[in-house]
Structure 1
Amino acid sequence: MESLREFVKDNGLYLATGAVIVGSSLLLYKRMKRSRTRVCGVDYPKDKVILHVFPRTKTIPNMGHFVMKLETYLRIHKIPFQLDFNYKGGPKNKTPWIEYNGITMGDSQLIIEYFNKEFNFDMNSHLSKQERAVAWAIQKWLEEYTYWLNVYSRWVIFGDEMLRKFLKVPGPVAALLKITMRPRMIKTSYTVGIGRHSDEEVHQMMRNDLKKFSDLLGDKKYIMGDKITETDCAAFGILSQIRWCTPESCPGRQLLTSDELKNVADYLDRIKDTYWMDWEEILAAVKK
C-alpha cells in the first residue's frame, strides 16, 4: 500500500495527464460516433423511411403531436417506414426526423413536402386555390396556437398528473424531470405568449378553440369535405393528443370525451379506424 502511495505521489502529474487524455479521447469518440453520417444500405435499408420518434406510449401510439401527423401521412400513402426510437440528434433538433436513401431531414411539414415531390403526391389536388389557402390557414391555426395551448396544459398546468399517469416514471425520475423540464416549458411558453395567461384563461382558450373547430367541421367527413387532406393529418396530430394523451382534469380533453363535441370525436375515430387499424395492438404491446 505504501509503495502504491509513493508511486501515485511521484507520478501524480503523469497519471492526471493520462486521465485527461483518456477522458478526452472517450468524449471525442462519442461525439464522432454521434456525428458520423449514417450510410443508406449499411446503417439502414434502402427505399424505406427511418422515422425517428419518441417511444410508444400506453394511451396513444406516440405523444408527439407532429410525430402523429407525419406517421398518419406515411400510413395514408402506404410509404414503407421503420420506427427508430432514438429521436435525438436530428438535423433541426426537432422530433420527428427521418433518414431516407441518404437524405436526413427534420420538420414534419418539410418532410411531407419532400415526399410529395419525391412520389408525386398531392392530397389537396381536389381543392381550389382559395380552398388550399383556407386549409393552410386552418392547419397553421392548429399547429401554431392550439398546439401551444396543449403543451402548456400538459407540461405546466397538469405536469404532475402527466408524469404520473401518462409517462408513469418513478418518483425520483419524475422529480428530476419536473425540475429540469418544467422551467424550460414555462420559459418557452412565456416567449410564445401562452404562458403569460392564467390557467383559467388557457382553459377557456382551449375550450373556444375546440368549439370553433367543431363548428368548422360541422357534419363533414373531413375538414375540407369528403376527401382527406394534409390539414387532416395535422389536425389529427394535434387533437389526438388532447383527447388521448392529456390528463382528464383538462377541460379540453373533457370536451372531446363528452357528447358536446361528438362530431370532433367521431372525426378523430374515423381517421384512427381507417389509417391506424393496429392502434390497439400498438398500445397492448406497450402495456406488456
Structure 2
Amino acid sequence: MEHVNTVISFVSNYRVAILSALTLVLATRALKRGKKQHTYEPGVVYLYDFPKGDFPLLHISPFVLKVSLFLRHANIPFKVINNLDMGPRNKKPWIRLDGEVVSDSDIIIHYLIKKFNIKGFEINDADLAADAHLLRRFIDDAAVWSLVYSRWVDPINCSTNIDAIFSSVPFPISVIVKRFASNGTSKQLYGVGISRYSRDEVYERAAKDLDALARRLGDKPYLLGKEMSLVDISLFSMLAQFTFEIVQSPAGAALKSHRNLVDYVKRIGEAHFKSDELDFSKSYPSSRQ
C-alpha cells in the first residue's frame, strides 16, 4: 500500500511533466508514421529544412538559407524536404546525396565544393583568406544571436514569430514542439549570454554589428570585392532574415537604415531566387501585421 501511495504522490506532483512527456512520445510516433517516403534521385542534393511557416521568406533559418543560396550559386541540382527531422547532429540544415548524409552548413558547403569540384571560391591571398575566415565566423557564430533573440525571446515580438514558425505543424503536435523549441532556445541564448542583457542592450549590440558590416562593405558589390565569396553567402543569409520580418525588430530597422546593406541583399536575392521565393516588390513587415 505504501508503494501505491508513493506512486500516486509522484504522479500528482509531476502530472504536467508526465503528460507533456507522454504527448511528446505520441506526437513523435505520429510524425514517424506520417513521414513521407522519398525516392532519392542520383546526383540530387536533398536539403532538409524546417516545416514551412507563415514567413515571407522561404527558409526561416539563416543556415538553411545559406546552403540553399550556395546550391543555387553553384548550379547544383537540389530539392527541399520540409519536416521536423533534425538529422544526425540534431540541427538543421542537413543534406542527403547519393546515400551520404552531411550536416552543419559549413561542413555541407565544403563537402559539396569537393564533391562537385566547384571552382571560384578560392582565396589565394593569405591575409584576405584570414579576413574572410574571421568575418564568416563573426557572422555565423556571433552576429547571428541577435536574430535568434528577436525570433525566440524578444518579449514584444517572439509570440508572433513562434506562431508563424510552426503554423504548418498540426495541433496538438504544434503545442509540444513550440514549448520544447522555445525552452531549448531560451536556455541556449542564456548559455551564450545574449538573454542576460536587456532588450535595448541586445539591439544596441546588433545595431553596432550592422554598422560595422555596412562600413566593411562600403560601396563594393561584395564584402571582399567584385566577386561573391563564401562570406557573402553567410552575410546575405543573415541579413535576409532581418529584411523579411513579420514584425519589424529594432535590428531590422537598423539594417534598413544602411542603404548599401539593403541594396546588397536585394542584389544577391534577385540574382539567385525567383520572385515568389523572395518578393522584394513588397514592403516587410507587411501592412497587414
TM range (shorter): 0.7 to 0.9
Query: TM-score with structure 2 length normalisation?
Result: 0.76
- Structure 1: gaps of 5 or more residues: 1-26, 284-288
**Contact 1:59/1:245 (<8 A) preserved:** yes
Higher helix residue share: 1
Could you tell me which amino acid in structure 2 is paired with residue 233 of structure 1? I
Distance 1:110 1:182, change over 3 A: same
**Contact 2:94/2:102 (<8 A) preserved:** yes
Could you tell me which amino acid in structure 2 is paired with residue 52 of structure 1? Y
User: Hey, what's the Cα distance between the residues in 1 that align with 2:241 and 2:110?
Assistant: 23
Q: CA RMSD in A?
A: 2.8
Which deviates further from its counterpart, 216-225 or 167-176? 167-176
User: Hey, what's the Cα distance between the residues in 2 that align with 1:166 and 1:94?
Assistant: 16
User: Hey, what's the Cα distance between the residues in 2 that align with 1:246 and 1:135?
Assistant: 31
Pairing 1:75-86 to 2, within 5 Å after superposition: 75-86=72-83
Pairing 1:224-239 to 2, within 5 Å after superposition: 224-239=224-239
* 1:53 corresponds to 2:58: no
User: Percent identity among equivalent residues?
Assistant: 30
SS in 1 for 2:66: helix
Pairing 1:104-115 to 2, within 5 Å after superposition: 104-115=101-112
Please state how far the C-alpha of 1:129 moved relative to its aligned partner: 1.4
**Contact 1:72/1:233 (<8 A) preserved:** yes
Could you tell me which amino acid in structure 2 is paired with residue 81 of structure 1? F
User: Hey, what's the Cα distance between the residues in 2 that align with 1:179 and 1:90?
Assistant: 20
Show CA shifts across 1:198-251 (max 9, x none).
111101011111111000000000010010001111111111112213621x11
Please state how far the C-alpha of 1:182 moved relative to its aligned partner: 2.7
Distance 1:247 1:137, change over 3 A: same
Q: 1:135 aligns with which of 110, 127, 132?
A: 132
Could you tell me which amino acid in structure 2 is paired with residue 239 of structure 1? L
**Contact 2:70/2:233 (<8 A) preserved:** yes
Show CA shifts across 1:6-31 (max 9, x none).
xxxxxxxxxxxxxxxxxxxxx9xx69
> Corresponding residue for 2:255?
256
Q: 2:40 aligns with which of 37, 44, 47?
A: 44
> Corresponding residue for 1:159?
158
Please state how far the C-alpha of 1:126 moved relative to its aligned partner: 4.7
SS in 2 for 1:280: coil
**Contact 1:96/1:107 (<8 A) preserved:** yes
Distance 1:142 1:281, change over 3 A: closer
User: Hey, what's the Cα distance between the residues in 1 that align with 2:52 and 2:134?
Assistant: 30
Show CA shifts across 1:86-144 (max 9, x none).
35141111111111012111111111111111122244325411111101101110111
Distance 1:183 1:102, change over 3 A: closer
User: Hey, what's the Cα distance between the residues in 2 that align with 1:206 and 1:280?
Assistant: 29
> Corresponding residue for 2:3?
none
**Contact 1:54/1:87 (<8 A) preserved:** yes
Distance 1:160 1:89, change over 3 A: closer
Could you tell me which amino acid in structure 2 is paired with residue 213 of structure 1? L
- Structure 2: gaps of 5 or more residues: 1-25, 280-289
**Contact 2:86/2:92 (<8 A) preserved:** no
> Corresponding residue for 2:180?
180
Please state how far the C-alpha of 1:185 moved relative to its aligned partner: 1.9
Distance 1:166 1:55, change over 3 A: closer
Please state how far the C-alpha of 1:192 moved relative to its aligned partner: 1.1
User: Hey, what's the Cα distance between the residues in 2 that align with 1:171 and 1:97?
Assistant: 26
Please state how far the C-alpha of 1:161 moved relative to its aligned partner: 2.6
Q: What is the aligned residue count?
A: 244
Show CA shifts across 1:246-272 (max 9, x none).
621x11111223xx2010000000100
> Corresponding residue for 2:64?
67
User: Hey, what's the Cα distance between the residues in 2 that align with 1:163 and 1:43?
Assistant: 32
> Corresponding residue for 2:96?
99
SS in 1 for 2:89: coil
Distance 1:244 1:86, change over 3 A: same
> Corresponding residue for 1:9?
none
SS in 2 for 1:99: strand
